Amino acid sequence: MFKRFAVVLGGLLVILAVIGGIKFKQVQEGMAKLANFAPPPATVSVVEAKAVQWRPQVASVGTLNAIEGIELATEVSGLIDGIFFKSGQQVKAGQLLLTLNDDVEVASLAAYQAQAELAQIKFKRNEGLFRDNNISETDFDQSSADLKVANANVEQTKASIAKKNIKAPFSGVLGIRKFSLGQYISSGDALVTLQDTRSLYADFSVPEQYLPKLYTGQDVIFHASSAPETEFHGKVIAVEAKVDENTRNIAIRAEVPNDSGELHPGMYADIRLLMKETISPIVLPSTAISYSPFGDAVFVVEKDDQGNDVARRIYVQVGEQRGDGVAILSGLEQGMMVVNAGITKLENGTQVIISDAVQL
């Protein structure tokens, strides 16, 4: 019995040894093939690194404001009895816009003018009498003072009447009126906006480190949401005299012509402030940059010892991005062939095939 068991056990061990030897040989062959395996070359497209003339810009956002813009109001209270404009109308400086009822003031003016005429007659009479020493100096002075008071009352009443005739203080475009004929308004009530939009101010700010590079006449370009495809140009006319202590930014005001009338006060502006000097960085498509917390990099294509095209990672310093172009400030040399499509397939030393047919 024991002899039969030993024979069976021995046979099993022999079978297991044979199977193990076969598997071991297969694993060795697989490892050898894996060691000799080379991944297929990655297909990429490349661009040549070239330096271009580039004028540095500082990006900011701002608001467009009218050079002259007010909320028209009255100094006095009263009942509106005349409206001489339409909402949205273009008006000229001094143009009459509305009137308040001035019946009381007109009546008072007539009374004061009559008093002034009488005071003038008395003054002339007393002037002759005083010259002939027929009245005292005190009586003459009293008549002179009465004439001045009467004339002052006339002028004061005329001024009160003028305040009830609301005129445009400057030329511009009116907004939507906020009152109706016959409505009673109090002094200071908003009536209608008036904006001079022939030129506009673009108000924005930049960080304080740019202060030494700011100057009057500096070029500004910007886009507005109402005309995203249009590039507007302006000039800096003023730089704030102090830095904002809360934001550490400095305010800038640029003047922008608005001959086309496309721009309106209150609009948002995407602004680029142009620096005076120009630089010559290498500019690459943004698709060529591999961004990483450890550093931004690009892949350049070079020949290896066997003459094959291989990708090599180079870390670079990235500067300003303008449209689809990115300025490379350091790390790259002119003439290098830089991968701009297919970088997700690459590692350092990956063999590549250059083709213009690669899609981004």
pLDDT in tens, 48-81: 888 888 888 888 999 999 989 899 998 999 999 9
Domain 58-65+194-274: which CATH number of 2.40.30.170, 2.60.40.650, 3.30.43.10, 2.30.30.100: 2.40.30.170
Are 47 and 338 spatial neighbours (Cβ–Cβ below 8 Å)?
A: yes
pLDDT of residue 140: 80
pLDDT of residue 43: 80
pLDDT of residue 57: 86
Q: Does the global pTM surpass 0.75?
A: no
Convert the pLDDT of each residue in 199-210 to its tens digit. 999 999 999 999
Give the homologous superfamily in CATH for domain 102-163: Helix hairpin bin (1.10.287.470)
In sequence order, which ranges of the chain are alpha helices (DSSP H)?
Answer: 2-36, 103-131, 137-163
**352-354 and 42-48: which strand pairing?**
parallel
pLDDT of residue 344: 80
Burial code of 9-35, b = ≥16 C-beta within 10 A, e = fewer? Answer: eeeeeeeeeeeeeeeeeeeeeeeeeee
pLDDT of residue 37: 47
Residue spans of the domains in the chain: they are 1-37, 42-54+280-354, 58-65+194-274, 102-163
| CB neighbour list of residue 204: distance below 8 Å, 6 or more residues apart | 60, 61, 62, 63, 251, 252, 254, 269, 271, 273
| CB neighbour list of residue 255: distance below 8 Å, 6 or more residues apart | 67, 199, 200, 201, 202, 234, 235, 237
pLDDT of residue 134: 78
**Pairwise CA distance, residues 2 & 79, whole Å:** 129
Nearest to 157 by CA among 104, 201, 206: 104
**Pairwise CA distance, residues 20 & 133, whole Å:** 152
Q: How many residues does the chain have?
A: 360
Residues lower than pLDDT 50 in the chain: 34, 37, 360
pLDDT of residue 207: 94
Instruction: Determine the topology of domain 42-54+280-354 in CATH.
Output: 2.40.420
